[in-house]
Chains A and B, each alone.
Chain A
């Protein structure tokens, strides 16, 4: 049975009395892009450190590519490309030297290393700056170099912590397109991000973490709705108040004569419309409502958005 590239069972980590991560149960399927969302201090970085064996769990277990990262840290790290939130690139080296060093760390044969360094510098649009010292690079260029470095060993799993942090819109699009192309190549990606719109576009599955607890996991368009589809309705003749609706359906007024209906099942919409018509209310329009990831996130986390 495929356990997925990441399998966490009751994974917990505390630092003294502070519980950074609590009972994380998570499976990331092979070849998927998993988005890990949460505010600052939610436990995302602790999770990343646990995944690559930099920290040992205080309870529970974690398997990455079928291996225990604590017992087989070297093997796990050899097969993972990691880019941390504050990407550390060597200022005293050139862009090319940074990637050549990463290639040597990955023990690539010299010819393969040369080809891959060149291909990646082209891919992240840094080829023309390859001989420049990184000290003169903008944050965006560093992020791109960090991403190229994470890809140098052609990893089985890519772990990215805020890869678009600090990037301008053009570079965000570049990174997003790169991630989308990696997803098309069936590379498994574990992506910690604060850009909900990007997560919605890139990720197959997202998980929302707060205060060390996983609040919800699911597809970006469905997460957190607990199976409750919704629609907006434009009514005429009367309003929806006091009308007996099928079990599991509820109406709430919106502005401009619109109402919002939530249901246990999308198929119940016919029963809702029938009940309204029977009560003499005209139904002029039914607009299925897709709940955005941002709405779900804010509903679950209850804050101002992820950091």
Chain B
């Protein structure tokens, strides 16, 4: 119970800080709005019907993009502003467990990315309704693989990026570099497909399995990361 309370304390603080920060709000709103509006502008209703389900599914990428933009910005920022402001040193001198200090950052970074993705999806739905399309069927949500992509893959992606962004920010003390490094880590996910080690198969079964495996890997990465983030190690990082 006390562990949950510590996590709650930290998560509450991170949310309070993030949503009280103008840049976070701007990035969050812009990412959700752009990725919500762009599909409607870039693809006409008639085209999407003519080109079939694959192109409809393509719009799911915009939702993933909203999550990537927000998490890549938020995860390093949650650590870096504590480093720069020396509040991380304060947190380390408190009774808070190591896992609550860093785990809360992962939760809030991943959560804000997921929220941005859902908001982008909402904007797409509203636009679809306003433009007089058939709403649900106009969107990838009508397809099972579309739902897996937008809800499953996005969840794994946000956790993965939150872990990478947090670790990168502990090692790299500069905002832009940490942001770029986190963005580039998406390339690591694309590499196996680009190198031909894996083949993307647009079936519901394959996508579901991929989402499960990716989610499990991301969560395992987070658990290993939190296990490694001991106070003494962090102090030595900061000292360096």
Q: Report if A and B associate in a common complex.
A: yes
Which A residues fall within an 8 A CB radius of B? Answer: 15, 49, 52-56, 73-75, 77-78, 80, 82, 84, 86-93, 97, 101-102, 104-107, 149
Distance, CA A97 to CA B87, complexed state (A): 14
Distance between A21 CB and nearest chain B CB, rounded to angstroms: 14
**Cβ B90 vs Cβ A104 within 8 A:** no
A15: which B residues are within 8 A, CB to CB? 236, 239
Of B10-18, B186-194, B215-223, which stretch is located at the interface?
B10-18
In the complex, what's the smallest C-beta–C-beta distance from A89 to chain B, in angstroms? 7
Quick one: CB contact mask for B6-25 with A, threshold 8 Å, 1 for yes? Answer: 10010011001100110000
Question: Beyond A89-B87, A90-B85, A93-B16, is A105–B235 a contact (Cβ under 8 Å)?
Answer: no
Residue in contact with B86 in the complex, picked from A54, A86, A105, A106, CB distance below 8 Å: A86
Report if B147 contacts A (CB, 8 A).
no
Contact status of A86 and B89, CB under 8 A, knowing A74-B97, A107-B2: yes
A261 to chain B, nearest CB (A): 48
Assuming the contacts A88-B88, A88-B90, A101-B9, asked whether A106 and B95 have C-beta atoms less than 8 A apart, the reply is yes
Q: How far is the CB of B84 from chain A (nearest CB, A)?
A: 9
Q: Are B20 and A77 in contact (CB under 8 A)?
A: no
Query: Which residues from chain B sit less than 8 Å from chain A, CB to CB?
Result: 2, 5-6, 9, 12-13, 16-17, 20-21, 81-82, 85-90, 92-97, 231-232, 235-236, 239
Q: A300 CA to B87 CA in the complex, in Å?
A: 35
Residues in A whose Cβ lies below 8 Å from that of B236: 15
Residues of B near A97 (CB, < 8 A) are 16
CA distance A73 to B92 in the complex (A): 10
Residues in B with CB closer than 8 Å to A93 are: 13, 16-17, 20
CA gap between A181 and B109 in the complex, in Å: 43
Shortest B44–chain A CB gap in Å is: 43
Asked if A88 meets B2 with Cβ closer than 8 Å, knowing A49-B235, A53-B231, the reply is no
Q: Which of A97, A102, A104, A106 has the most CB of B within 10 A?
A: A104
Closest to A103 in B: B9
**B239 to chain A: which residues have CB within 8 Å?**
15
Q: Which of B5, B20, B21 has the most CB of A within 10 A?
A: B20
Asked whether, in the complex, the Cβ of B232 is within 8 Å of the Cβ of A88, the reply is: no
Contact B90 A84 (CB under 8 A): yes
Question: A52 to chain B: which residues have CB within 8 Å?
Answer: 93
Known A-B contacts A77-B93, A78-B95, A101-B9; A88 and B231 likewise in contact (beta carbons under 8 Å):
no
- CA–CA, A272 to B235, complex, Å? 57
